[in-house]
Structure 1
Amino acid sequence: MTKGTIRVGIGGWTYEPWRGTFYPPKWPQKRELDYAASKLTAIEINGTYYSSFRPASFAGWAKAVPEGFVFALKASRYATNRKVLAEAGESVMRFIGQGIVELGDRLGPILWQFMATKRFEPDDFQAFLALLPERHDGVALRHAVQVRHESFQTPEFVAMARAANVAIVFDDSEGAPSFPDATSDFVYARLENAVEEEPAGYAPAALDEWASGAVEWAKGGVPAALPCAGSEAAPIAPRDVFMFFINGAKVRAPFGAMALIERLGER
């Protein structure tokens, strides 16, 4: 069966404990992105959550990675960490307009992450989704939202995201609501339960399950072992999948990503 492209990566590429473990000893720091991009197929850039960057930075990152590699961008906290989301329009466009389109075909989804205390207020969240542009300067944009309050775990929210063609992040972490629901033409998963005791962060059996789940998402379905919060969507095939090993035992993240990529190569 035809399936979408599955890309697997980590959060960022600059992390001191990766030097001498993931990165070879004495590897030049200015070439860490080059090395990471040779082993992985995607990276989630978290620095864009805290500050803006110049267009030249995005263009430089695009040139440093091979064809087919993509960057997901965590959107500005000024757009999401607010009481009234409907008033975020200026912050949304400031983020979109800072030069992210310089990534060209290396531009992956934009991640809009909300605080764990942010509750689901249907009218306000609907207004926020309406602020997310489908295109900017001729470049198509894909959006994913990560919500972490239990009040979002309702069919109403799932239907709202699906109508907007916005992905709900599947978050593998303790205490957060889980949304394996397919609400867009791509899936965005963050695997945050890594432990340092496992060389790849997750046990081999768990990595096997994530590989199977990624393939199922990519074929247009939903992993059977993951209960959905809303009604089941009509299958879409193919569907791109983005999976990031992030947080948890961060030192293990690159090894988890590489182990998953290896498993996917066998399927």
Structure 2
Amino acid sequence: MILVGTSGWSYDDWVGEFYPKNLSKDKWLGFYAKYFHTTEINSTYYSFPSPAVVQSWITKASRLAAFEFSLKMPKQVTHESLLLDVGHALEFEAKVLAPMRDASCLGAILLQMSPYLMLHDKGKKTEHLDRLKTLLGHLDTGSYEYAVEFRHRSWLENGALAGDAVDLLRERGVAACAVDGPSMPPVVENTAGHGYIRFHGHNDDIWYKKGPEDGRMNRYDYNYRPEELLPWKKRIEPLLRGRVRAYFNNHPHANAAKNARLFESIMGVESVPPAIQKQSDLSSFF
């Protein structure tokens, strides 16, 4: 089974491209849920959500049919402490994940590793695999569907995820997040009873450039062609024995929604309504 969605849904530039121009912002998620049953919330990476915010997600999901939110682990854990702040991760489980799980609206939890977390550095093995092992050993990976997105190529060996990392993820039942984008090759490893995929686009020429906010925005301004997504159908076959979640992060101009619907079509996912259309032009989506 595969669930396809986008990384976030509340983007002003989707109005007229995906959301009708006369639709109020508080109704955007309901409109989104007509096409997709899952979304990835990135805001939890930047700040720990308050109980009121968590309850608002639960309330929103309760009004929708079989809708779920996947969340990113806070950067305090993955980036600022480089996996050492286990306490913060456990607090996130208890105060954010548990209520959402109990309300049946929790998808998966993504640990997006810092690019400074490496398996080895200058030929020497680092302690970062041990840090990941310690963190995953404290987390309740049996009750929650965790996924790890590696972002440094030292985690790869001969074009595949390093064996030590694969063994650890399999031991804990944690998914290896497959990535489509400039930073990592499209490596798929079946390490859990669930899978996780993120599509970032192919703007290789500007991906690593540092600049103002609009510059970072441009990194994700990409519209996939069908031939770029088609290989993923075969690539993820080993994962489809369980639940697979695929999220498009190329959000500018509603490209994420367009490409997520295209990917649903490629994967044979039935969708009602059958197509997304720009308010004035259907053809731009396919």
Band of TM-score, shorter chain: 0.7 to 0.9
Please state whether the residue corresponding to 2:195 is helix, strand or coil.
Answer: strand
CA distance, structure 2, for counterparts of residue 116 and residue 78 of structure 1 = 14
CA distance, structure 2, for counterparts of residue 9 and residue 84 of structure 1 = 28
CA distance, structure 2, for counterparts of residue 125 and residue 53 of structure 1 = 24
Specify which of 152, 155, 161 is matched with residue 149 of structure 1: 152
Correspondence for 2:159: none
Q: Which runs of 4+ in 1 moved over 6 A?
A: none
1:100 aligns with 2:122: no
Aligned-residue offset at 1:82:
3.8
Aligned-residue offset at 1:215:
4.7
Correspondence for 2:60: 64
Aligned-residue offset at 1:145:
0.8
CA distance, structure 1, for counterparts of residue 245 and residue 269 of structure 2 = 18
Q: Which amino acid aligns with 2:132?
A: F
Q: Which moved more, 1:92-101 or 1:254-263?
A: 92-101
Aligned-residue offset at 1:261:
1.8
Specify which of 75, 78, 82 is matched with residue 77 of structure 1: 75
Specify which of 183, 187, 192 is matched with residue 200 of structure 2: 192
Aligned-residue offset at 1:133:
1.6
Correspondence for 1:225: none
CA distance, structure 2, for counterparts of residue 194 and residue 11 of structure 1 = 16
Q: Which runs of 5+ in 1 are unaligned?
A: 219-237
Correspondence for 2:261: 258
Q: Which runs of 5+ in 2 are unaligned?
A: 120-127, 157-161, 204-217, 271-286
Specify which of 82, 86, 90 is matched with residue 89 of structure 1: 86
TM-score (norm 2): 0.75
Task: Give me the identity figure in percent.
Answer: 26
Aligned-residue offset at 1:127:
1.3
Correspondence for 2:19: 23
Q: Which moved more, 1:46-55 or 1:94-103?
A: 94-103
CA distance, structure 1, for counterparts of residue 228 and residue 42 of structure 2 = 26
1:129 aligns with 2:151: no
Specify which of 164, 181, 191 is matched with residue 172 of structure 2: 164
Cα RMSD for the two superposed structures: 2.5
TM-score (norm 1): 0.80
* 2:175–2:192 Cα contact (<8 Å) kept: yes
- Judged with a 3 Å threshold, the aligned counterparts in structure 2 of structure 1 residues 259 and 185 are, in CA distance, closer, same or farther, namely same
